[in-house]
Amino acid sequence: MTVITQYVVVRDGEEKMTFTSKAEADAHDKMLDMAEKLFPLLQKSGALQSEKEVEDLALFLAREREELLIALNAKKTAKPKKPPTTA
Q: State the residues that interact with a second copy by CB under 8 A.
A: 30, 33-34, 37-38, 41, 44-45, 47-48, 53, 56-57, 60-62, 64-65, 67-75
55 alpha-carbon distance from chain centroid: 12
Dist. CA 15–CA 23, nearest whole Å: 17
Return the closest-CA partner of residue 19 out of 35, 30, 57, 1. Answer: 30
Residue closer to a second copy (CB basis): 17 or 61: 61
Q: Kindly report the backbone phi and psi dihedral angles of residue 60, in degrees, each rounded to the nearest multiple of 5, phi listed first.
A: -60, -50
Under DSSP, the state recorded for 60 is H
CB of 26 to a second copy, least distance (A): 13
| Rounded Cα gap, residues 9 and 18, in angstroms | 6
Task: Give the shortest CB-67-to-a second copy separation in angstroms.
Answer: 5
Smallest distance, a second copy to C-beta of residue 85, A: 32
CB nearer a second copy, residue 25 or residue 54: 54
CB closer to a second copy, 20 vs 30: 30
